[in-house]
A = this chain, B = another copy of it.
C-alpha cells in the first residue's frame, strides 16, 4: 500500500466523525442533525452546564452539583439537561436519589471536527 493510500484511509477515519466543512459542503440531512446539536449549545446556561459536566473530576457530575453555580431554578436546570441529553451531547443515569450526567465525547468530537480549519487553529491541529 502506498503512503498516499494510507493518508486517504486516515481521512476516511476522520469522516466517520465529521469531515471539516472547509473540505466539503454539508448535505441536507447532516445539516439538520448537526443544527439540532448546535441549537442545544446556543444557550449560555446550557453551554456552561455542558462545560461543567465535561470538566468534572471523573468525567461525570451528579445533578446535585449542577444547580449551585447558576442563578436559575432547579426545574430550569433539569430542562436544560434534558435538551442536552436529547441532542445526544450527554448521557445520564439515575443512581439512588440522584441522576448523574456525563458528556458523550464522540458528539463533541463530531462538532469539533466539523469546525476544524486548516489555518487559524491551535498549533498541532493543522493538517
Using a CB–CB distance below 8 Å, which chain A residues touch chain B?
Answer: 10, 13-14, 16-17, 21-26, 28, 31-32, 34-36, 38-39, 41-48, 50-52, 54-55, 69, 103-106, 108-109, 111-125, 127
Please pick, from B112, B123, B125, the residue contacting A117 in the complex, using a CB distance under 8 A: B112
Please pick, from B54, B111, B112, the residue contacting A125 in the complex, using a CB distance under 8 A: B112
Q: Which of A34, A105, A115 has the most CB of B within 10 A?
A: A115
Q: How far is the CB of A15 from chain B (nearest CB, A)?
A: 9
Please pick, from B23, B51, B117, the residue contacting A108 in the complex, using a CB distance under 8 A: B117
Q: For the complex formed by this chain, how many copies does it contain in all?
A: 2
Q: What residues of chain B lie closer than 8 Å to A52, measured between beta carbons?
A: 25
Contact B125 A105 (CB under 8 A): no
Q: What residues of chain B lie closer than 8 Å to A17, measured between beta carbons?
A: 121-122
Q: What residues of chain B lie closer than 8 Å to A117, measured between beta carbons?
A: 54, 103, 105, 108-109, 112
Q: Is the interface of A mostly helix, strand, loop or mixed?
A: helix
Contact B13 A123 (CB under 8 A): yes
Contact B21 A123 (CB under 8 A): no
A-B contact pairs, 20 of them (CB 8 A): A14-B122, A17-B122, A21-B50, A21-B51, A22-B103, A25-B48, A31-B48, A35-B43, A38-B42, A39-B39, A39-B42, A42-B42, A54-B117, A105-B118, A105-B120, A106-B120, A112-B114, A112-B115, A115-B115, A124-B127
